[in-house]
Amino acid sequence: MTHPRSILLVFFLSACLLPRLTRAEDGYRLWLRYDRIDDPRLLQEYRSSIRGVLVYDKSPTLHAAANELKNGLDGLLGQQISFMNNVFGWVGRGALIIGTPTSSPLVADLHWTDNLSRLGNEGFMIRRYKLKDQSGIAIVANTDIGILYGVCHFLRLLQTHQSLESLDITSIPALHYRVLDHWDNLNRTVERGYAGLSIFDWWTLPLYKDSRYTDYARANASVGINGSVLNSVNASPIILTPAWLAKSAALADIFRPYGIRVYLSVNFSSPMTIGGLPTADPLDPAVQAWWKKKVDEIYSYIPDFGGFLVKANSEGQPGPQNYGRSHADGANTLADALAPHQGIIIWRAFVYNESSEDRVKQAYDEFKPLDGKFRNNVLLQVKNGPLDFQPREPFSPLFGAVPNTPLMLEMQITQEYLGFSNHLVYLAPLFEECLHADTYTKGKGTPVSATITGMAGVANIGNDINWCGHPFAQANWYAFGRLAWCASATNLSALIADEWIRQTFSNNPGVVDTLKKMMLASREIAVDYMTPLGLAHIMGYSHHYGPAPWYDKASRADWNPVYFHRADSAGLGFDRTATGSNALEQYAPAARTLWADKKDCPDNAVLWWHHVGWNDRLHSGRTLWEELCHKYYTGVDSVRWMQKCWDALQLSGIDNQRWQQVKMLLCIQQQDAVWWRNACLLYFQTFSRQPLPAGAEQPDHTLAYYENLQLYYAPGTANSGVPQKINP
Ligand code: GCW
């Protein structure tokens, strides 16, 4: 029989050990984790700097800010912090004051008017103050939403263990529009979504308000995202029917206190499909009247509705060209309906037709002549590159080329071409590469970031418990928001990774250091094992997951990988210079010089711009064939390096649940990298007729095996969900 004392001992031991051994972390909290600070010195510093909070939470936004602060401080400081709401009240030592000069006499007493005037509508300041012989920290702004942003930033300082000694932070967003584009369908499938179903449960809305909607808003506000397009650009007209407007309105009500405006994607044929009109011609008065009436109706549901996002005459979507009208005619009709309500039109420039013209030239050719022809409330939304969210492509030539048309830069957070939610790929370096690329459109030093008014990110969010599928995919949502806020600052990828790791995993310097190295290397690693040296779009047809450089069966030439890589017995790559499609000409002359000459063109872009001979030497000193092999092999080796890094962190304090998940996902990534390397090299070898590097790991299958791999979709979810590999 067990002695009662030993039972007690077992209880005692399990009470001590269990939390360490089995502490589970499902990832739901994202980076908003407010666990008690485990560094006693820092905890002491924070506790004595923040003894109480003075806040006048009269508005829903200030209420949300106070709530976030209360949850955050109680958790991080491990004790209840008193919140006081009295306007003229006590200011004690260590009182944290939050408010605007209009809502808080205390803030007005600080006399920081000069500094406040610079903050605009969304900026904030976090500073030390002295008032009535007391000192403390104040979070101030001109608006309530500025306060919420400031509060989130302040909590981030604590989560990342920053000192509060000499705080003096002024933060103002670089861009006006910082928007998530959901490609969510009304049946809850998500186009290019790899994290489950849509978080928007249209079936139970508007009455059932899932608490997840509030958590979504909190997460977005914490990184400054201020807009959300709820539905896919391949839009169902149903979204504009009264029943669905009520559902969108319910979401808008939840998001409003967090500064998030709701936008909707609309189908250009809506006046016909739900309006019963015989045409959707944008110059037809009945069509124009229909849009006006519909927009008025929308504002009766959502008084601060943001506006429409439109994909028109692109990939089968209807648009003004169906009626012989231009994109400007189409956009302006919708813009006129929205203008009285201060709504905007975000019109996408992602257009390309079945034509003999190089696909990457078509958006510029279409929209450049329309510059200056759009109403003031129209923004053109341009993908970062001229093709389609590839692991690497040059910036779109439209940036800086349409100075009279405000631009939104569209980035893809969801990893359509980057291994879905299976691969660890930190995208901030990709985003930054575009933001800081010099367009030279107003002379040297005109980066893409200086040519835009906003940024849109195609969301990677679904109803998976951890929101994004891969635990590290959360970092891309986070980084998108942080970069949109600070778009013009440079070298932020490391800083943002640092912040995210500390908030999401650990402040342990060893963990931070290792994860940062992995994250910062990961995008280049993916480029190496997928599309090195400027290759693009050689992924499997339609699903875009694994390699299929051989594919030539699509109904349109420009949907085939062979169209993009142009391999032949002489060499590899797409000549886009004057001897080829001359896409180069669409860039400012000084920008062209970077790529124009095959000999000078950087290795990482050379096959995008040139057809290169198999034995031509690149900057690396290796021939094209040798370099191609080198890159694919390095890619695989680097994934194995990431696996080793991760394995070494097992006992570093990272919770076992997420550690196991990432370990398994890295195994998939390793397997896929080998698949990419073997399939691509075996295929390109049929043109180069040269051997794989001597002594290197040899492919374990034939080219025929890879060509015949079938990928299987779950029925009805084309373009969403992860295809399953089936061996032939
Ligand atoms: O990248 C392509 C995707 C499509 C997407 C399209 C677009 C929403 O493969 O799924 O459709 O871009 O951006 O419109």
Interval 431-465: pLDDT, tens = 999 999 999 999 999 999 999 999 999 999 999 99
Q: Tell me the three-class secondary structure of 82-148, residue by residue.
A: EEECCCCCCCCCCEEEEECCCCCHHHHHCCCHHHHHCCCCCCEEEEEEEECCEEEEEEECCCHHHHH
Q: Cα(362) to centroid of ligand 1, in Å?
A: 16
> Rounded to an integer, what distance in angstroms lies between the CA atom of residue 362 and that of residue 356?
10
Provide the pLDDT for residue 724.
Answer: 64
Residue 298: Cβ-neighbour burial (10 angstroms; 0-12, 13-18, 19+): buried
Residue 254 — very low, low, confident or very high, per pLDDT cuts 50/70/90? Answer: very high
How many CB atoms neighbour CB 290 within 10 A?
21
Lowest-confidence range among 527-531, 707-711, 719-723? 719-723
Residue 15 pLDDT more than 60? no
Q: Cα(644) to centroid of ligand 1, in Å?
A: 35
The answer to whether the CB of 424 falls within 8 A of the CB of 155 is no
* Average confidence (pLDDT) over 258-264: 98
The answer to whether the CB of 68 falls within 8 A of the CB of 148 is yes
> Rounded to an integer, what distance in angstroms lies between the CA atom of residue 679 and that of residue 625?
15
Give the tens place of pLDDT for each residue, 532-556: 999 999 999 888 999 999 999 999 9
Any atom of ligand 1 within 6 Å of the Cβ of 414: no
Any atom of ligand 1 within 6 Å of the Cβ of 350: yes
Q: Which of 699, 629, 636 is nearest to 667 (CA)?
A: 636
> Rounded to an integer, what distance in angstroms lies between the CA atom of residue 693 and that of residue 584?
34
Residue 624: its H or E element: helix 624-647
Three-state secondary structure call for residue 613: strand
Any atom of ligand 1 within 6 Å of the Cβ of 183: yes
Q: Which mutation among 266, 350, 539 tests ligand 1's pocket best, with the greatest number of atoms within 8 A of CB?
A: 350
The answer to whether the CB of 38 falls within 8 A of the CB of 669 is no
Between residues 252 and 714, which one has the greater pLDDT? 252
Q: Cα(192) to centroid of ligand 1, in Å?
A: 8
Instruction: Point out the ligand 1 atom lying closest to the alpha carbon of residue 544.
Output: 9
The answer to whether the CB of 639 falls within 8 A of the CB of 508 is no
Give the tens place of pLDDT for each residue, 542-592: 889 999 999 999 999 999 999 999 999 999 999 999 999 999 999 999 999
pTM value?
A: 0.96
Contacts of 634 (CB under 8 A, 6+ apart): 528
* Average confidence (pLDDT) over 400-419: 98
Residue with tokens 């929209």: 367
Instruction: Point out the ligand 1 atom lying closest to the alpha carbon of residue 192.
Output: 10
90-128 b/e (C-beta count within 10 Å ≥ 16 → b): ebeeebbbbbbbebbebbbebebeeebeebeebbbbbbe
Residues labelled as active-site residues:
315, 388, 416
Lowest-confidence range among 101-110, 254-263, 298-307, 348-357? 101-110
Any atom of ligand 1 within 6 Å of the Cβ of 261: no
Residue 714 — very low, low, confident or very high, per pLDDT cuts 50/70/90? Answer: low
The answer to whether the CB of 25 falls within 8 A of the CB of 655 is yes
Strand 710-712 relative to strand 724-726, pairing: antiparallel
* Average confidence (pLDDT) over 470-482: 98
Residue 209 pLDDT more than 70? yes
> Rounded to an integer, what distance in angstroms lies between the CA atom of residue 72 and that of residue 54?
15
* Average confidence (pLDDT) over 268-294: 98
Any atom of ligand 1 within 6 Å of the Cβ of 545: no
> Rounded to an integer, what distance in angstroms lies between the CA atom of residue 278 and that of residue 143?
47
Cis geometry, peptide bond prior to residue 206 (ω within 30 degrees of 0) = yes
Beta strands in 523-565 (DSSP E): none
How many CB atoms neighbour CB 696 within 10 A?
15
Q: Which mutation among 181, 191, 713 tests ligand 1's pocket best, with the greatest number of atoms within 8 A of CB?
A: 191
> Rounded to an integer, what distance in angstroms lies between the CA atom of residue 497 and that of residue 30?
14
Instruction: Point out the ligand 1 atom lying closest to the alpha carbon of residue 458.
Output: 13
The answer to whether the CB of 446 falls within 8 A of the CB of 440 is yes
* pLDDT, the chain, mean: 94
Angle at 258 between CA 254 and CA 261, to 5 degrees: 75
